Every structure is written in structure tokens, then in C-alpha cells.
Amino acid sequence: MRVNARLVVAILGFFVFYEVIQAAEIKVPDFKHSVTPEKKPWTDKEFLNNPANFQFAIVADRTGGVRRGIFPEAVKKVNDLLLEHKVIFFREQPISKDQQVALAEKFGPLETHAYVKGLEDYPEIVRIIKGKEEKNQWGENWHSDVSYNAKPTKAVILRSLKIPPVGGDTCFSNMELAWETLDPKTQDKIKNKKAIHSSLGAEFFIDNYKYMEGNEKRNYDSYSNEHPIVRTHPETGKKILYVNWTYTKQIIGMDKEESDQVLKEIFEHQARLDLTCRFSWTEDTVAIWDNRSVIHYAIADFFPGRGLGYERIMDRIAIEGDHPQ
């Protein structure tokens, strides 16, 4: 039986709301309370009367009765913030697999990965294990998850289970801003064109990763789809530069030489530091990103091939997307 995620989502919504306030440097008054230290029925953590250490929000009474309207509003707030900021993070969220699934389901139908097998009892959860002895790494390049699908992923919810003491950060780049800041001549050249996104080499995940198990065999090297280079976000109406270094192979209507040159310039533009953020993980962190609006890069600087021998374990759930328009 899957656990209701009402409390979890409400907590996440309040976490994000507070972090936005803090980032804007708005003065937040002390939270007044009458709770004595020995009476903490909703948490086992020490009560902190400090906005900088906000831990939880009460959304039900002690009997578990839910306050009507709070949960849908919390989900809406998280989604609104996701659309605005593209990626949002929540630290200190020791949620279960059931709760992660229940949370993800509030954003749409869940997706099973085209190539990588999910957990036995949770096929929608892909456990990404980067082991101590791995020589290669998965995700260490700029990409948008499964953009080679006919309907690429809408959003991803990633939960950290084990984090190395150093390294293992993830970078995100804003593709809405990338389009807005792209050279106008390049914009004119590509705005009405499509590109081929291909899963070329996806079988590498299965053959070269000790901890990654594939789904049924298929012709990985020929699995591809065409998508607009500039797609329109279905919820915001904003234009998005929808290509990525890993899966975008050629611009339709250009010969290979011209396509390669244009894509090279775009890929370099997408990696501009002023378009990106870099997140340092801690255990029990939940990240949610709009996979339509960002590309990301998992930095693998913690495993033996880089002189270290640490392990990194994450649970990933993806929400089904639509046909890019």
C-alpha cells in the first residue's frame, strides 16, 4: 500500500516558499509558539524558533485529520515555483520510496525508463548507483533526460540516498534563458528547424555499468525522434532551446558539416556559467527539475577514475511528458 504524501508535499511547499523569501532578503519575524520542549507530537527533532532553521509545517491535528485545501494548494505552489525557477531543492527529506512515488504522481503519470530497469517492487524508480570501482560514469555531460523519446520526460524527482564526502555535484542550465540570450543570427537560422535526437550508445549503460540493468533488448543505435529546436513550454508559453550535447545529433535541412558547426556553437552557449547553477548534494535531499526547461550535468569527480573511491546512490522518478511543439 502506498503512503499518502500530503504532509511531505506540504512540507516541501513551505520549504521552497521560505527559501524564496530568504533569497529575496525579506525580513521574516520570529515564529511565536507556546510549545514546551518536551511536547513535540509531530517530530522527533528539537524545536527551533528560528526562521533560518525552518523544519516543518503542521497540516493536520493530532488525530491525522487533514485541513481541507492545504494539500492541493501546496502542490500548486511547488509546481508554480518549479515553472519559475526550473529546478528546486529540498534538504533533510528522509522520505520513503512510497512517499517519493506518491509525490511524483501529483505531477502526472509516471514514466518507466526506455533502457534501464527500475527497482523490482517499484518499476518507476531507477536506482542510480555509481559504485566505488566504476571506471565510467553515467550522466557526466550536458543532457535533457531521454530527449530521444517521442514524448520526452516532463520532470524528474531525484532523491539522494548516499553522497560522497567530496564531489558529486550536479549542474543545471536554463534553456529558456539560453534561447533569450542566443545570438539573433543563430536564432533566425534555427527557429523553424527540427533536430534528430538519438539514443545512440544507450546499450553502453547495460554493458559497462555493474549496477545498471537494462530492460528488454532493442535496437538502441537506431532509436531516435525529431523535435523542434525551439519548443514552446506547454504551461508557460515560453520559448526553450531544446537541443543537448548527449542526444541531439543533426539539424534537419542542413548538411552534416553545417549542422555540426551550428550545434557546436549552441552547445558552447548552453554551458555558459551565467546560465547555470551548481548544487552540492547532502543525504536525504530531494531535487525536482523541469526537464523541458533545463539540461543538467552530473559531475563524476569522486570515483576511482578520478583518483577517489567513493559511492553515490540516488533514486530517480520521471513524469511523462508530451510531444514537443
Say yes or no: 176 and 54 in one domain.
Answer: no
pTM of the model: 0.76
State the pLDDT at residue 192: 96
What does DSSP assign to residue 78?
Answer: H
Is pLDDT of 37 > 80?
no
Last residue in a domain, options 39, 55, 85: 85
User: Which range marks the domain in which residue 38 is found?
Assistant: 1-85
CA atoms within 13 A on the CB side of 306: 18
Contact residues for 251 (Cβ-Cβ < 8 A; gap 6+):
190, 193, 194, 195, 229, 258, 259, 262, 263
For the chain, percent of residues with pLDDT exceeding 70: 67
Say yes or no: 48 and 197 in one domain.
Answer: no
Say yes or no: 14 and 130 in one domain.
Answer: no
* Cα angle, residue 169 at apex, residues 164 and 174 outer, rounded to 5°: 160
Residue-averaged pLDDT of the chain: 79
- State the amino acid at position 273 in one-letter form: L
Q: Tell me, rounded to whole angstroms, the distance of Cα 132 from its chain centroid.
A: 24
Is pLDDT of 231 > 80?
yes
Q: Where does the chain have alpha helices with state H?
A: 6-23, 70-85, 97-105, 175-180, 184-190, 204-208, 256-270
State the pLDDT at residue 128: 87
Tell me the CA distances in angstroms from 230 to 86, 198, 254, 291, 321, one per residue in order. Answer: 17, 17, 16, 14, 16
State the pLDDT at residue 212: 54
State the pLDDT at residue 312: 87
Say yes or no: 273 and 204 in one domain.
Answer: yes
State the pLDDT at residue 12: 45
Say yes or no: 116 and 170 in one domain.
Answer: yes
Q: Regarding predicted confidence, which is higher, 163 or 3?
A: 163
State the pLDDT at residue 173: 97
Across 11-20, 132-141, 212-221, least confident range? 11-20
What does DSSP assign to residue 65?
Answer: P
Say yes or no: 186 and 303 in one domain.
Answer: yes
Name the domain count of the chain.
2
At residue 223 the predicted structure's pLDDT band, cuts being 50, 70 and 90, is: confident
Say yes or no: 232 and 168 in one domain.
Answer: yes
Say yes or no: 65 and 200 in one domain.
Answer: no
Question: What average pLDDT does this structure show over 249-269?
Answer: 97
Say yes or no: 110 and 71 in one domain.
Answer: no
For residue 324, being part of any structural domain is answered with no
For residue 235, being part of any structural domain is answered with yes
What does DSSP assign to residue 214?
Answer: B
Question: What average pLDDT does this structure show over 177-189?
Answer: 97
Say yes or no: 256 and 134 in one domain.
Answer: yes
Say yes or no: 23 and 140 in one domain.
Answer: no
State the pLDDT at residue 105: 92
Question: What average pLDDT does this structure show over 93-115?
Answer: 91
- Which of 119, 141, 151, 142 lies closest to 313, judged by CA? 119
CA atoms within 13 A on the CB side of 128: 19
Say yes or no: 194 and 110 in one domain.
Answer: yes
